Copies of this chain bind each other. A is one copy, B any other.
Amino acid sequence: MTEKVDILVIGAGPAGIVSAVTARKYYADKQILVMKSIENGVIPCGIPYMFVSLKDPDENKLGNDALKKNNIDVVVDEAVKIKRDEKIVETKNNKKYYYEKLILAIGSLPVVPPIPGIDKQGVYPIFKDMNYLNDSIERIKKTKNIVILGGGFIGIEFADEISKIKGLNVYLVEMLPHLLENSFDPEFSQMVEEKLKTKGVTVLTNTRIEELLGNEKIEKIRLSNGKELPADSVILGVASAPNTQLATEAGLDLGKGKGIWVDEYMRTVDPDIFAVGDCAGKRDFYTRRDVAVMLASTATAEARIAGANLYKLKVIRENKGTIAIYSTYLDGLVLGSAGLTENSAKKEGFEIVTGIFNGVDKHPATLPGASKIKIKLIFSKQSRILLGGQVSGGISCGEMINLIGIAIQKGMLSVELETLQMATHPCLTSAPTVYPIVLAAQNAFNKA
């Protein structure tokens, strides 16, 4: 028998949950069902902190509370086929669901690089599955030599977290010249490299893994420089790929970035099927080229657009294209990046000017707990529009990068930032005389 639902959401990660909850706000009378393939999901960005920082890894569970509170039904099952002509989804448990509107929030899958020996025991891709992660973490903790492959956000946060466990040797291997190479310019990446080194992590940049050695179980790895590292566990933090099989089998188009093609309102080529989050294609904010940005925050922004616009276009998207905007935290050091870096802007062909300012996050700087702040803004040289920014410092940088993010999304000019009105307080911010974003903007076109 076919069950009829108004809105069917496949996937219960951040994108799925936010799509459903937003749809509830805008379409109070519709029946909404969320289908999840895994009983216990996790908060994706909390995964590294399941090792030590969270007393109980189950605190990182992504449960159904928000859904239930909003009168949204949940079923644990896996969609295996979309019959678009009948508007029916078939599942692993042999159920059929007829939908009015379908939202695909089916996420991404960790990329397992084709390195010889990668299939040995002791190699852990990061699947967003609570039971799998709990089991993996217990195994990893019992080993001695841990190699993390990939120096992006996932890799550095795992390295930082695992370094808190005494007696383990942690190696972080990255093939590019610097950690976080795609999100930060070298002067910021170096702070991360130094921080991890002080925490006892062996950081190997410009280095590839050639082969994983051992019998059934991994024992050591051979590097591109010919050296070998002992390795009992290898964590894969390399990349993820959009999960699109269900969509392509249903004849939905993909974009050039390999995600499911969607328009400005997250509609696929089928007007009754939406795609959001990691599985969906994204267009770059600056060039509208297809890009691969996979972040929970991006996913939720898309989910809000989809959820509000399922039946009618209600929430007009003023916010064009996707920017990369992240923050990370390493044992007291906060880094944030929004939009283009100096390097990425140049590669894309922009003619740029940068403005840098070094300050302190309290005033006077001698107040207890003050941290140094470094900020770098990247402007278009001719049009003077803000293209990107990077910050490092203390806790306040977590929201300061969002300030830069809003300025980018509003296409703000250097003069607007230079004359910005802001709140300052001795215990909370830099002094008003030297507020970092303002001074960096001023310095960009008036080198200090």
Residues of A bordering B, CB below 8 Å: 14, 17-18, 21-22, 25-26, 43, 45-46, 49, 53-55, 59-60, 66, 295-301, 304-305, 308, 315-319, 322-323, 325-329, 334, 336-338, 363-364, 366-368, 395-403, 405-407, 409-410, 412-413, 415-416, 418-429, 431-433, 435, 438, 442, 446, 448
Contact = CB atoms under 8 A, between A and B. Distances in A.
Nearest to A319: B419
Given A66-B433, A399-B429, A425-B45, A304 B416 contact: no
A424 B296 contact: yes
B426 A46 contact: yes
Contacts of A410: 406, 410, 412
Contacts of A413: 318
B403 A403 contact: yes
A361 to B, nearest CB: 9
Contact of A403 (B366, B406, B419, B433): B406
A448 B289 CA distance: 36
B46 A363 contact: yes
- Which 6 A-B pairs rank lowest in CB-CB distance, beginning with the nearest? A398-B428, A399-B399, A297-B432, A329-B427, A300-B432, A25-B446
Contacts of A21: 433
A16 to B, nearest CB: 10
Nearest to A398: B428
Nearest to A48: B426
B406 A438 contact: no
Given A327-B429, A403-B406, A319 B363 contact: no
Given A14-B432, A427-B329, A301 B45 contact: no
A24 to B, nearest CB: 9
Contact of A304 (B363, B396, B442): B442
A176 to B, nearest CB: 22
Nearest to A338: B423
A412 B401 CA distance: 18
Given A46-B364, A399-B403, 14 more contacts: A14-B432, A17-B433, A45-B432, A54-B364, A54-B367, A300-B433, A301-B420, A315-B418, A316-B415, A327-B425, A329-B425, A336-B423, A398-B427, A406-B410
A416 B368 contact: no
Number of copies of this protein chain within its complex: 2
A406 B420 contact: yes
A393 to B, nearest CB: 10
A315 B428 contact: no
14 contacts: A25-B446, A26-B446, A45-B425, A296-B431, A325-B421, A327-B425, A329-B428, A334-B428, A398-B429, A399-B429, A405-B420, A406-B410, A406-B412, A410-B410
A393 B172 CA distance: 36
Nearest to A46: B426
Contact of A423 (B325, B363, B418): B325
Contacts of A418: 304, 308, 315
Contacts of A308: 418
A53 B399 CA distance: 25
Contacts of A305: 419
Contact of A419 (B55, B304, B325, B366): B304
B420 A398 contact: no
Given A396-B399, A401-B423, A419-B315, A60 B298 contact: no
A431 to B, nearest CB: 7
Contact of A300 (B14, B406, B427, B435): B435
A55 B315 CA distance: 53
Contacts of A422: 297, 301, 325, 402, 405
Given A399-B396, A403-B402, A415-B318, A424 B327 contact: yes
B423 A364 contact: no
A432 B299 contact: yes
Among A60, A319, A337, A424, chain B packs the most CB atoms within 10 A around the CB of A424
Contacts of A322: 421
